[in-house]
Amino acid sequence: MVIARIAVLLAGLACLAAAPGFSQTGGAPPPPAAGPAWKQVYEDSQTVYYVDAANVPRIGQAEVQTLMAFKAPEVFDGVQVWSILSRMKLSCDQREMMTLDNTFHALPMGGGRVVQSQPSSDNWHSPKPGSLGELVWNSACGK
């Protein structure tokens, strides 16, 4: 269902991050000024991926938000979705991370009504080299 579709999207993006032509910056419109301090860490032809790594301690554990913004809407369970906000927990000391939950939004940049919110069944794991997880961890933990 929707969780499986998120996993497929994120896995596909993780593979693309290591591919030739991968861009860590791009021509997407800047995120809105209010709210999280989004830092773009990935872009391809279909998505832009942001991390809000402001005020994350470089030691210990911390929570961080990520945002997957679609350039064209995706349809999940018959509903149009423009963005997915994810909350993640990071351990900068241990180089580990886990996704806590995912929230689907009807408008770009986490705006509009919440289409669906789902807890994650993720466990602590080390980010794989070249993956979006590694980009998130590096952005937040600065290593």
pLDDT at 15: 39
Q: How far apart are CA 111 and CA 67, in angstroms?
A: 11
The encoded tokens of residue 114 equal 């919440």
Q: How far apart are CA 125 and CA 95, in angstroms?
A: 8
pLDDT at 61: 85
Reduced to 3 states (helix: H, G, I; strand: E, B; else coil), residue 126 is coil
pLDDT at 51: 92
- Please list the pLDDT of the chain residue by residue as tens digits (143 residues): 444 455 445 544 443 333 333 333 334 444 444 568 898 999 999 999 999 867 666 777 888 999 999 999 999 889 999 999 999 999 988 999 999 999 999 999 999 999 999 999 999 999 999 999 998 888 888 75
Go through the chain and tell me how many residues it has: 143
The reply to whether 31 falls in a domain is no
The encoded tokens of residue 76 equal 């999940």
CATH code for position 135: 2.40.128
* Owning domain of residue 107: 2-23+36-141
Are 55 and 67 in contact, with CB atoms under 8 Å apart? no
Are 109 and 83 in contact, with CB atoms under 8 Å apart? yes
Q: How does DSSP classify residue 35?
A: S
- Taking the alpha carbons at both ends of the chain, their separation in whole angstroms is 35
Rounded to the nearest angstrom, the gap between the alpha carbon of residue 42 and the centroid of all alpha carbons in its chain is: 9
Task: Report the number of distinct structural domains present in the chain.
Answer: 1
pLDDT at 23: 36
The reply to whether 86 falls in a domain is yes
Q: How far apart are CA 5 and CA 7, in angstroms?
A: 5
Reduced to 3 states (helix: H, G, I; strand: E, B; else coil), residue 108 is helix
Q: Which of these, 78, 80, 73, 85, lies nearest to 38 by C-alpha position?
A: 85
pTM of structure:
0.74
The reply to whether 126 falls in a domain is yes
The reply to whether 30 falls in a domain is no
The reply to whether 29 falls in a domain is no
pLDDT at 53: 67
